[in-house]
Structure 1
Amino acid sequence: MSQRVIVTGGSGGIGAAIVERFVTDGARVAVLDRRAPAAEPASLFFSVDLRDPLDTRRAVGEAIAALGGIDVLVNCAGVFQHVSLLDITVDDWDLVLDINARATLVTMQAVAPVMLEARAGSIVNIASMAAKQGGGGEGHYAASKAAVVALTRAGAQEWGCHGVRVNAVCPGYVLTDMGADTRSDDDVRTWSAKSPLGRLGAPEDVAGVTHFLASPAGGYLTGQAINVTGGMIMH
């Protein structure tokens, strides 16, 4: 039986690569995003405002109904801002924490009853290297991704006895549209030099690890925050 997968933020960047990876493997995928995928979709699409918990629960419920259940949830939706600590406004904080952290909690809560009843399921939350090492110039972003890792541990500890696994992926520098206006060519060269592999990540690098965590091959992994950083972080 093919996996039934929900991917938030699956219309572009890392999320689109994750959707493609699951679809290639024969999964049925529902994308939850504010905009439809640019390419011809091979998946279902549900428009959602992830800042609105009620709308988020509505979209998750509709996706589960359309798929006939759920086996995998991937929380990939996120926003990034580069702002110094003294300049972070309350609105900045609320935007980043609402989408990156609170929406992760809401979607986890929305799928959990179905997974717990089935006594099976896998949740993969896309966090960030910033959860472990970030801070300067991205305090609210780093805080939001650290919260994602904490939610991952909580879910793993509470739901593991019911057969539900929860893991996180912590990508490093991955060239996507998010953050494109905050980086230069010099930045790319500098960041690439930090990796023993001498390159930045591609969305497909994150997609491969995400798919592994949701597959039977990753069946004894839960509560982990796995670095996909090209060796920039080794703990």
Structure 2
Amino acid sequence: MATPTAISDPRPARTGPSSGPLAGRVVLVTGAAKGLGRSVALAAAAAGADVAFTFHTSDERAEKTSTEIQALGRRSLVRRCDVRDREQIARVVAATHEAFGRIDGLVNNAGIMPENAFLEITEEQWDTVIRTDLTSMFLTSQAVLPIMLEQGSGSIVNVASRLGQVGWPGVAHYAAAKAGVMALAKSISREFGQRGVRANAVAPGVINTDMGRTVMDGEVGRKRMAELPLGRFAEPEEVADAVIFLLSDASALFLGQTLGPNSGGLMP
């Protein structure tokens, strides 16, 4: 697999927010060139954090996200990375730590959602989704945890899905992976909570992103919309707000929890 490459390196921050829930912190976000990841990266910068993020294929969008982070007065580090590859992840984490001196927050966001009828899912397709959507979060968390433990603090947020809580036809591999990332957050919190590291998850419903619109713009989307007490799907910025909460000290008592910004589509 290809070596991660930089398309933007940290530059001195312009005058930016000196206060905010993430002021003075460093947040690493996977898959932040577009969609929810981009909104999380920008929200973290607006909250006062310097932001490192990965992308896989969307070079131009990644550069745009980096520029927008810097326009908010924060530093940005960008690396191309295939999150399925342990060595690439290790290099991204090392570059982030070297550039900023610490990593306070990790948002495991990168993922895919192919649609396959259950009886038609091949073993290769299953392995690809599980490695991209679940194993990648294990690998990235494992790479970042030693830094957080040395600091004595850190917050990990795994992006899950409502489908990981209820299951769904046509995306059994995706739903299984997302259920796994919620359990992963619980396990990390139980093992490292007393050492200052928290892990939680967000499980949104349909979000108005490129991925979400594949659901929204069809019959399935209309049926899903009819089930929502709020009467609308989520905007990525709204879900990003939940992620920022979990990264901040305001969520100090939240360990192994899954927040559900799902427009009322699931009420546990």
Q: Above 0.5 in TM-score?
A: yes
Contact 1:4-1:29 within 8 A present in 2 as well: yes
Q: Which residue of 1 aligns with 2:29?
A: 7
Structure 2: gaps of 5 or more residues? 1-22, 70-75
Question: In structure 1, which of residues 13, 32, 39 is the aligned counterpart of residue 64 of structure 2?
Answer: 39
Counterpart-to-counterpart distance in 1, 2:214 and 2:65:
27
Aligned residues, how many? 235
Q: Identical aligned pairs, as a percentage?
A: 38
Rounded to whole Å, the distance in 2 between the matches of 1:97 and 1:217 is: 32
Task: Judge conservation of contact 1:46–1:63 (CA < 8 Å) in 2.
Answer: no
Contact 2:155 / 2:199 at 8 angstroms: preserved in 1?
yes
Amino acid at match of 2:46: T
Q: 2:130 aligns with which of 83, 97, 100?
A: 97
Q: Secondary structure at the match of 1:44?
A: strand
Instruction: State the structure with more CA Rg.
Output: 2
Given candidates 73, 89, 95, the residue that maps to 1:56 is 89
Q: Does 1:30 align with 2:55?
A: no
Match of 1:72 in 2: 105
Q: 2:182 is matched with which residue? A: 149
C-alpha deviation, 1:52, in angstroms: 1.2
Tell me, in whole angstroms, the C-alpha distance in 2 between the residues paired with 1:80 and 1:91: 14
Note if 1:17 corresponds to 2:39: yes
Unaligned ranges ≥5, structure 1? none
How far the C-alpha of 1:12 sits from its partner, in A, is: 0.5
| Runs of 4+ deviating beyond 2 Å | 179-190
State the distance in 2 between where 1:18 and 1:176 align.
13
Find the aligned partners of 2:111 and 2:118 in 1 and give their Cα distance. 19
TM-score (norm 2): 0.84
Between the aligned partners of 1:159 and 1:2, the Cα distance in structure 2 is 23
Deviation at 1:179, TM superposition (A): 5.2
Deviations 1:1-54 (A, max 9, x none): 511000001111000000110111121000112133152522210111112111
Q: Is the 8 A contact 2:149 2:197 kept in 1?
A: yes
- Bigger CA drift: 187-196 or 6-15? 187-196
Q: Does structure 1 retain, via aligned residues, the 8 Å contact 2:161–2:202?
A: yes
Give yes or no for contact 1:191–1:200 (8 Å, CA) kept in 2: no
What are the residue-to-residue correspondences of 1:150-229 with 2, within 5 Å? 150-178=183-211, 180-181=213-214, 184-229=217-262
User: Hey, what's the Cα distance between the residues in 2 that align with 1:82 and 1:211?
Assistant: 30
SS in 1 for 2:260: strand
- With normalisation by structure 1, the TM-score equals 0.95
SS of 2:201's equivalent in the other structure is strand
